[in-house]
Structure 1
Amino acid sequence: MKRYYFLLLMLCHGSLLSAAECEMAFAHGILIAPDHIRILQNNRTHVQINNDQQLFIRGELISLTAEDVVLLQQYSRDLRKFVPEIVSIAVDGVELGLSSIEAMFTGIGSKSQQAEWRELVRETTFQWMSRFVRTNEHFYLAPQSLNELDYFLHGELKPQLDSLARHTVGAVWGALRDALRHSDSNFERSDNQEWQSVGHLVDKINLGLDAKAVELEEKSALFCQRMQELDEVEQQLQQRLPALKDYDVVMQKD
């Protein structure tokens, strides 16, 4: 049924450009903060925009004309609208799956077992969240294209959350059975019941991730257009400020 719904949605939006068809990409990491934007290479800041109107390249303040400032403000404001939206789609997908998994083992097992499960969750999510960071009003997006974000939701996040859910559910029910064996209760949960619980949790996670994938699909044409517009503004800035040509943030992949 979910597959039919997704295909129907694709037909309804047949005129839209899919994420996989968009060749636009972010070539550098982008950090958005309330008072500045930083462009990073290998975790080092090479370009910084302060308050949407001051430009630093490799730590040097660049002299700007009034026309330069207008272009810089447009570029900054577009990044501020766009990057948090992309990051939020990815982070919401991760948090949706993890909150479902963590809610399952709250109050079950010993403190050391819970710490072990939470550490497993943290280890699993560290690699994901190094690419997408949302902390209060700070957003970070690692270098990537729109089709890489599409693959993250479709081909990477879903199977890894599935594996994590199955691993932790098995551990949780094992701990629960051990605890009940030492209690006055004669309760036993069969293996079939246990895996039904796993399946229910995985279905819940997949349903939420499907919704995020559909959200990305619906917005993919708009996202691609925004990146093309950003690229045009960036090219205008580079023509006026040649030092920026070494830091081509938005680009079209060959």
Structure 2
Amino acid sequence: MRWLMMVCLVISGSSWADECAMAFRHGILISPEQIRVQTANRTAFQINNDKQLFIRGEWITLTAEEQELLQRYSHLLRKFVPEVVGIAVDGVELGLSAIESMLSGLGDSSQQEEWQQLIRESTYQLTSRFVRSGDHFYLAPQSLHELDSFLHGELKHQLKNLAKQTVGAVWEALRDALRQSDDNFERTESPNWQPLGELVSKINSGLDQKAGELEQKSALFCQRLTELDQIETELQQRVPQLVQYDVIIAKP
């Protein structure tokens, strides 16, 4: 019944954030051969080659109908998770690349390494909930509403702070170089140098585009979530061991 109510909401044209008030309760890790559902950093159950089901390491024998359900479930996850992760990761990379571009050509090798380390640390912090590495994808437990909030709020705030740190570091290095009157700091003009306000505006504009992309696809994403929820319910009815690992949930 829950999935049917969701379809009605999509058709009625309600706010997309309200339509998608469903979430992943567990983390999803997708690779070409496997789909792993993780809880507390451990694999609760996994699907191998879209047709074999293992629950806590135990192979579950499935009928032909159950295998078909499992394949549908796997194929939808493989469509949904990489696309959602891609939107988030692209947003992070967009902001970080703008900062990296601005820093290009400024400072000596030691200072460049220091700034790059700061950017690497920020990348790790910002992408812990969304991971894309080649054809491997990870989505942490969350809802589409939380992803929207991440793009509109949390990510903008953290990238703005990083921009302040890096711009401040550049000016501090320049002041030190001028006071010392030595050649430790390369004062080569960078064509990518931008005042803080312009840099933040550029980052925010790019993030607004990614948030717009998410909103444009919201109806499709909601449809896929409801289909996943329906298939999951059918699988749980046929394989009771899966009931305790309800992946798609309604989140108020």
- Normalising by structure 2, what TM-score? 0.86
Look up the equivalent residue of 2:205 and give its one-letter code. L
| Alignment partner of 1:126 is 2:124 | yes
Aligned to 1:59: 57
Q: Between the two proteins, what is the percent identity of the paired residues?
A: 65
Distance 1:22 1:61 in 2: 33
Which of 37, 42, 45 pairs up with 1:44? 42
Q: Cα deviations across residues 179-198 of structure 1 (Å, max 9, x unaligned)?
A: 57546xxx9x9xxxxx9621
Aligned to 1:5: none
Distance 1:22 1:216 in 2: 12
> What does 1:59-98 align with in structure 2 at a 5 Å threshold?
59-98=57-96
Q: Is the 8 A contact 2:19 2:222 kept in 1?
A: no
Aligned to 2:152: 154
Q: Cα deviations across residues 25-52 of structure 1 (Å, max 9, x unaligned)?
A: 0000000100110000011111110000
Secondary structure of the structure 2 residue equivalent to 1:133: strand
Secondary structure of the structure 1 residue equivalent to 2:43: strand
Which of 106, 109, 133 pairs up with 2:104? 106
Distance 1:20 1:210 in 2: 20
> What does 1:2-21 align with in structure 2 at a 5 Å threshold?
15=13, 17-21=15-19
Structure 2 residues without counterparts, runs of 5 or longer: 1-11
Structure 1 residues without counterparts, runs of 5 or longer: 1-13, 190-194
Secondary structure of the structure 2 residue equivalent to 1:159: helix
Secondary structure of the structure 2 residue equivalent to 1:101: helix
**Alignment CA distance shift 1:18-1:224 (3 Å):** same
Aligned to 2:238: 240
Distance 2:86 2:18 in 1: 19
Q: Is the 8 A contact 1:19 1:221 kept in 2?
A: no
Aligned to 2:248: 250
Aligned to 2:3: none
| Alignment partner of 1:203 is 2:201 | yes
Secondary structure of the structure 2 residue equivalent to 1:108: coil
Aligned length: 233
Aligned to 1:11: none
- 1:18 to partner: Cα distance: 1.8
Distance 2:82 2:14 in 1: 22
Q: Is the 8 A contact 1:20 1:146 kept in 2?
A: no
Secondary structure of the structure 2 residue equivalent to 1:56: strand
Look up the equivalent residue of 2:42 and give its one-letter code. R
Which of 206, 214, 230 pairs up with 2:228? 230
Compute the RMSD of aligned alpha carbons.
2.2
Distance 2:40 2:203 in 1: 33
Look up the equivalent residue of 2:147 and give its one-letter code. L
Q: Is the 8 A contact 2:102 2:194 kept in 1?
A: no
Distance 2:218 2:88 in 1: 14
Distance 1:37 1:246 in 2: 18
Q: Cα deviations across residues 2-22 of structure 1 (Å, max 9, x unaligned)?
A: xxxxxxxxxxxx936422542
Q: Is the 8 A contact 1:32 1:38 kept in 2?
A: yes
- Normalising by structure 1, what TM-score? 0.85
Q: Cα deviations across residues 66-105 of structure 1 (Å, max 9, x unaligned)?
A: 0011000000000000000100010000000001111222
Look up the equivalent residue of 2:241 and give its one-letter code. A
Q: Is the 8 A contact 1:17 1:220 kept in 2?
A: no
